[in-house]
Structure formats: structure tokens, C-alpha cells
């Protein structure tokens, strides 16, 4: 015999924990970035590094704790001042939030080897910037 179910209690109507618990959501986002096949760097509007995933550590050889901000990051991956000027010389007009900017450049890892990488950068409304780094060619010995 089918009888109608009583309406759910208010407690049962609450949103799932994932949506209502920002710390739970943050944990899920961190897990997603950690498992990404791309290197992922997230920084705030002031250039402070907020997330540096393990794939990016593999690509560069630098640990997350060694990259506190974007100026440090740029000095490490572009150790030669002349190339740094070339790599950073492109016009830096600010893309609208949500519009990806894509560029390619050679970066140098801790081991001195270089790698051609594609950088896809997306700025959020909040000022956060997410940068996805994808190696395009195998690492080459660095020529000095």
C-alpha cells in the first residue's frame, strides 16, 4: 500500500555540506588542482602565491614554499636577465576577467634545463589569477 510521504523537515532541506562548507569546497578545489596534468599557479592581485601544485613542482623542480610571490617566480624561471626582458616584453594590457591570455616561453628549471611551456592565464573578478602551465617540448640542456 502506497501512502504519501510527509514533507521533508527543514533540517533535511539544507544544502549539501559541499555547498555550505567553504572549507570543504576549498579542499575539493585544492585536490582538483593537485591532480591536474598541468602545472597550476594561483596568485592574488598583489602577486602573492596562493597555490602552486605538485605538477608545477615536477615541471620546474621548485617546491611551493620557494615561490612566495610572482617576482620570485619570474627570477627563478627566467634566471638570465636578457631573456627575462624578452619573455616579459610583450604588452601587458589587462584582459577582462574570465578571458584567457595565452603565451609561450622557455623556462629554466632548478636543474638548469629549459622547457618550452604554454602559459594560459585567467584573471577572476576578485583579482585572483589562475595560471595553467603546460610543457610543450621535452626539457633541453641549458646552454650557457
Q: 91-135 pLDDT, tens per residue?
A: 666 778 888 999 999 999 999 999 999 999 999 999 899 999 999
Nine-digit cell string for 34:
593537485
pTM exceeds cut of 0.85: no
Q: Is 60 left (phi over 0), alpha (psi -120 to 50) or beta?
A: alpha
Point out the least confidently predicted range of 28-37, 78-87, 93-102, 116-125: 28-37
Other CB atoms within a 10 A radius of the CB of residue 24 amount to 13
Superfamily designation of domain 38-135: PAS domain (3.30.450.20)
3-state secondary structure of 101: strand
More confident residue, 3 or 71: 71
Amino acid at each position: 500500500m502506497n501512502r504519501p510521504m510527509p514533507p521533508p523537515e527543514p533540517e533535511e532541506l539544507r544544502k549539501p555540506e559541499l555547498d555550505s562548507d567553504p572549507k570543504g569546497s576549498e579542499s575539493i578545489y585544492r585536490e582538483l588542482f593537485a591532480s591536474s596534468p598541468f602545472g597550476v599557479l594561483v596568485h592574488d592581485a598583489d602577486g602573492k602565491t596562493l597555490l602552486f601544485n605538485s605538477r608545477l613542482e615536477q615541471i620546474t623542480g621548485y617546491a611551493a614554499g620557494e615561490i612566495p610571490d610572482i617576482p620570485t617566480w619570474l627570477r627563478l624561471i627566467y634566471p638570465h636577465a636578457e631573456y627575462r626582458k624578452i619573455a616579459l616584453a610583450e604588452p601587458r594590457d589587462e584582459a577582462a576577467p574570465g578571458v584567457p591570455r595565452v603565451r609561450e616561453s622557455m623556462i629554466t628549471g632548478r636543474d638548469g634545463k629549459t622547457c618550452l611551456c604554454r602559459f594560459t592565464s585567467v584573471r577572476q573578478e576578485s583579482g585572483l589569477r589562475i595560471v595553467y602551465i603546460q610543457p610543450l617540448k621535452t626539457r633541453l640542456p641549458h646552454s650557457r
